[in-house]
Amino acid sequence: MFCKIARHEIASQIVYEDDQVVAFRDVNPVAPVHILVIPKKHVPAVTALDDKDKELIGHIVLVIKKLAQETSVVEDGFRVVVNAGKHAGQRVPHLHFHLLGGKAMGWPPG
């Protein structure tokens, strides 16, 4: 499904896009700011990354920082979540980062 979003085959609320990544609002947000950042390149999970993906992951982190600034969650804080595998809650087999903010969040998550 995320590959189709990256190719604009499925409509989504895209908030950022460049040649490497797409960021869009989650359809079932758990926080006022809930943005998913995905690589356009299909990577099934964080466990599928290797040395050649270092620049991509660095780029994703910088995009997350930019989006956190643009959504004004930097001052109060935000969370970045990456789930890996079914026991962690990964429902879509495409690497994705959740940017969550805009409310106080407890730890550990439920």
Distance of CA 6 to the CA centre of its chain: 13
Distance of CA 70 to the CA centre of its chain: 15
Q: Note if 96 is an active site residue.
A: yes
Which entry of 34, 94, 96, 98 is annotated as an active-site residue? 96
* Beta strand extents in the chain (DSSP E only): 14-17, 21-25, 33-39, 78-81, 97-101
Residue 52 makes CB contacts below 8 A (sequence gap 6+) with none
Q: How far apart are CA 38 and CA 28, in angstroms?
A: 16
What residues are labeled active site?
96
